[in-house]
Amino acid sequence: MAESVPVRCPACRREHVYAAPSYPCVCGAPVTPELDRDAVPESLTHHTWDDDWITVQCAACGRQDQWPRPELGCPCGTVLRVPLTEERGSGVGVGAGTSTDTGGEPEATDPGADVDEGTADGTGEGTGQPSAAPPGSRRPRIPLPRAAPSPRPPFNPVTIRTARDAVTAAALYLRWLGYQDIRRADQRPPSGIGLAARGVLAQVDPTLRPASLRDVECLWLTAMTESTGCVYFSLAGYAEDARSVADSLGVPLFVLDLTGTPQPVNSLADELVEAGA
């Protein structure tokens, strides 16, 4: 269980007791940022992508991953950024651009690593897919199920109250599926926020407008130019023609409920949940 620390608001001087949230590592162990009880919290006036994410090392397996930075909302309206400690080699770093893979980590522990489309031993048996495709015949898509997918721990959602929460929920879900190195996409989509990871391009639409056919087509076209798969997360659902074109283009669709748990909308999303990255 995460340790609770006293946090005093610099604006109203009210004191709170705060415990950092824990997130599941790919090994199943909980990962919790280490809070600095002696440092003074700072008031947060605006968010930036690089500052909203930190790199934390799992104490069980040593893996480093990025998680949302701990924040606390004071009743006076001030948002407090809770300080973190970097003592004793805790592995806490700031910024989404920091690499999350360590040089000495075994390749087999990375569920997002590139593998052959057949079984894990590269024979191509079990899935019916050849181990090597002819040049130029591959097209961007979500990876097919493996013969023996690794079990994943239950997904821990983040309650959605703001647009930033919706982006955080989608990023955590992508990591839960097995995608690594999640970051802000290089190209900004026409609507919503773009996320990129190894092997996938995702669009998160936190507005109250259902995603349109054009939104889905633009995501698919961008993914095609980058030779990667794509997935769409929407808070308000999808127009009927958007769902139809997503099925024909091979785009998994998810709806974000307010608990922060993405719900599959089409069969492609169901397959992605079952197979993982």
Please indicate, yes or no, if residue 138 is contained in any of the structural domains.
no
Long-range contacts of 10-14 (CB under 8 A, 24+ apart): 10/40, 10/41, 10/42, 10/43, 10/78, 10/80, 11/43, 11/74, 11/76, 11/78, 12/74, 12/76, 12/78, 14/74, 14/75, 14/76
Identify the domain containing residue 246 by its residue range.
163-275
Query: Does 152 fall in a domain?
Result: no
What pLDDT sits at residue 86?
60
CA nearest 56: which of 46, 64, 48, 45? 64
The pLDDT value recorded for residue 162 is 86
**Final residue of a domain: which of 94, 111, 133?**
94
| pTM for the whole structure | 0.52
253 shares a domain with 175: yes
Q: Answer yes or no: do 89 and 190 share one domain.
A: no
Extract the runs of DSSP E, i.e. beta strands, from the chain: 4-8, 15-19, 23-24, 30-31, 42-44, 53-57, 64-68, 71-73, 79-81, 93-94, 183-184, 193-197, 200-205, 229-234, 253-256, 262-264
Considering 94, 116, 149, which residue would you say is the last residue of a domain?
94
3-state DSSP helix/strand/coil % of the chain, to nearest 5: 20, 25, 55
User: Residue 3 and residue 176: Cα distance in Å, rounded?
Assistant: 24
- Successive 10-residue mean pLDDT values, the chain, 277 residues: 76 83 75 79 69 78 79 79 61 42 40 39 44 45 48 83 88 90 82 88 91 93 89 93 93 92 93 87
| End residue of a domain, out of 94, 113, 134 | 94
In a domain, 224, yes or no: yes
Give the total number of structural domains in the chain. Answer: 2
pLDDT digits (tens, 9 = 90+) for 88-115: 344 444 444 333 343 444 333 343 334 3
Domain with 181 in it: what CATH number?
Answer: 3.40.1350
